Amino acid sequence: MQCVGEWAENDKHGYLRAYIEATREARRKFSESGFVDLFAGPGRVCVRERGEIFDGSPLLALAHDSAPFSRVVLCDLAQVNVDALRHRTARYGDRVEILHGDSNSRVHELVRLLPPGLNLVLVDPFGLAPLHFETLRILSQVEHLDLIVNFPTSDLRRNKDHYIDPTNEVVARALGVPGWRERLGPGDIALETASQFVDSLAGLGYTGTQNRMIPIMRAGSELYRLIFASKHPLGDRIWTSVTRHTPSGQLGFKY
């Protein structure tokens, strides 16, 4: 189990659950549909503040049953998480494919496992290092593929001096922009790089008006930005409707 803050269940999982629910009619139009979790975790989370246990993103996607995903592809680097996923998803049979390893080096296999219908990819790393834009570029060649990306702005702020060092390649790899440092303005490094990331997504055809960012906050500080990207206007409209209110019922974010 991974211990997370309340925000993970309330915000990240809340938006994911709402988006999966709201896209059920769109999924029904296709004979097949897929959910891919590039950084899947063990399938369960424990909320630190309350000690309660909730489904992680893989089980949350599998639990949706009004327009179920015909294929759920999960990848994690840690053997212990892969073992937990195998155990926890066994009852879903061959709808589930679990890969052990670095999702960046296994992306071509992941693409081959996707059904030809509507696909949703969750990109949810702990920090910036495992986020490789090249992986998203390869995935973006699949037709009808939406992305929800956890872009770790707090990592960028915390490790700014490390990332700004010209020998460090983590940010360039995440954004797909080798000259990202030259493009930085005087503003906040995290927001400027997140905006370069959104521009890179636009270069892949993710030009929708809602390819923008929701700040996920805890106690007044920002943890990360949740970025949604779809090439289809319907995806944008649905994301707008699910973010009109936050998962806890508060008024959501104006784009």
Chain contacts with ligand SAM (rule: CB under 6 A): 37, 39-41, 45, 56-57, 75-78, 81, 102-104, 124-126, 130
Q: Which is nearer to ligand SAM, 33 or 104 (CB)?
A: 104
Based on CB atoms, which residue is closest to ligand SAM, 97 or 199? 97
CB of 231 to ligand SAM, least distance (A): 23
* Identity of the residue, 53 or 217, whose beta carbon is nearer to ligand SAM in the bound complex: 53
Tell me how far, at minimum, the Cβ of 217 lies from ligand SAM, in Å.
17
CB of 244 to ligand SAM, least distance (A): 23
Closest to ligand SAM by CB, 124 vs 236, is 124
Complex with ligand SAM: residue 30 or 54, whichever CB lies closer: 54
Beta carbon of residue 2, minimum distance to ligand SAM (angstroms, whole number):
6
Q: What is the 3-state secondary structure (H, E, C) of the chain?
A: CEEECHHHHHHHHHHHHHHHHHCHHHHHCCCCEEEEECCCCCCEEEECCCCEEEECHHHHHHHCCCCCCCEEEEEECCHHHHHHHHHHHHHHHHHEEEEECCCCCCHHHHHHHCCCCEEEEEECCCCCCCCCHHHHHHHCCCCCEEEEEEECHHHHHHCHHHHHCCCCCHHHHHHCCCCCCCCCCCCCHHHHHHHHHHHHHHHCCCCCCCCCEEEEEECCEEEEEEEEECCCHHHHHHHHHHHCECCCCCECCCC
Instruction: Give min distance, CB of 43 to ligand SAM, in A.
Output: 7
